[in-house]
Amino acid sequence: MRAWQVETLGHPPTLRHIAAPIPAPGQALVRIHACGLNFADLLMGDGKYQTKPALPFIPGMECAGEVVALGPETVGPAIGARVACYSGQGGLADYGCFAADRLIEIPTTMKYTEAAAFLIAYGTSHLALGHKAALRPGETLYVTGAAGGVGLTAVEIGKRMGATVIASARGADKLAAARTAGADHVIDSTSPNLLDHLRAFGGIDVTYDTVGGPGFEAAMRATRPDGRILAIGFASGEVPMIKANHLLVKNISVMGFWWGGYLAFAPSILDDSLSTLLDWYAAGELRPHVSHILAMEDLATGLQMLRNRSATGKIVIRMT
């Protein structure tokens, strides 16, 4: 089978032809049709992610495909079932062996390219906003990086939860995408008066920050008393330094959030969230934002788009 492999940290993956894996007990063999790309794939390839697989490894944190075999004495989706999987790695290949109990059957109306772009982006936003930040109807939500694969889902889900949504992104096209996803107000992230804009909208109750950098301080200063700030990621490359006295004076909470971490300590919360999201999709209430579908051989193009933050929505690699 074809598989992209990271063989040296800090170097691009290499496309190899290797033997297809054989499922062990508890595993399912999946013929992978599509794999979603995430900023975390870049971090993992550079050795800067929370988890550090042994080299060489196949990147690709989430994928979708068809079950073709089960390991010995394994209970799982039936052969032929259409599934999505948060694998953590292994998605950028023609086949992959994954824990059978982590496979999620997808609606018949959902394309593989949609399913491969669904779990992490929607799962992160739903669990962060609903479970972690307890976003309430009528509150104001501020989303940074709002035209990215995860940011657009935060806009969409925040609006569905009844919030007034302020979205920031770079450039007219990205701001238009945020509006289409449901943003009530948009701000160009390059604006020199970000704090003034946020205050002009009346301040913030919840911030969903995927970018970090100098915009984090502006968001914190615009946060209302008892507000919450979600630290989702640092796409700018700059991790903000937080002044604890500011948190104290305004009773602000800053909360770190890593969706994949829930698999280790609270998988049932994650499963319940994904079940709700798939119900919303089946009811036509969610529209996955896939901006680019690339061939297997074009992985380098997709990774560069992630690194440059030039894509609007999710980038998906299609194997077939």
For the stretch 16-61, pLDDT in tens is 999 999 999 999 999 999 999 999 999 999 999 988 999 999 999 9
**What percentage of the chain has pLDDT greater than the value 90?**
88
Query: Are 209 and 144 spatial neighbours (Cβ–Cβ below 8 Å)?
Result: yes
Question: Which class would CATH give 124-260?
Answer: alpha beta
Please report the pLDDT score of residue 195 as a whole number.
Answer: 92
Q: Is the predicted pLDDT of residue 246 greater than 90, yes or no? A: no
In the chain, CATH 3.90.180.10 sits at 2-118+288-318
- Mean pLDDT in residue range 285-289: 92
Q: Is the predicted pLDDT of residue 311 greater than 90, yes or no? A: no
Please report the pLDDT score of residue 151 as a whole number.
Answer: 95
Tokens of 70: 């089960």
What is the rounded CA–CA span in Å between residue 175 and residue 148? Answer: 11
In 3D, which of 108, 69, 51, 26 has the Cα closest to residue 282?
108
Domain 2-118+288-318: give its CATH code.
3.90.180.10
Please report the pLDDT score of residue 238 as a whole number.
Answer: 87
Tokens of 82: 């259409």
For the stretch 57-116, pLDDT in tens is 999 999 999 999 999 999 999 999 999 999 999 999 999 999 999 999 999 999 999 999
In 3D, which of 261, 226, 255, 236 has the Cα closest to residue 144?
236
Query: Are 187 and 166 spatial neighbours (Cβ–Cβ below 8 Å)?
Result: yes
Q: Is the predicted pLDDT of residue 192 greater than 90, yes or no? A: no
In the chain, CATH 3.40.50.720 sits at 124-260
3-state helix, strand, coil in the chain (%, to 5): 35, 30, 40
Tokens of 274: 């994904």
What is the rounded CA–CA span in Å between residue 203 and residue 211? Answer: 19
For the stretch 160-181, pLDDT in tens is 999 999 999 999 999 999 999 9
Query: Are 292 and 316 spatial neighbours (Cβ–Cβ below 8 Å)?
Result: yes
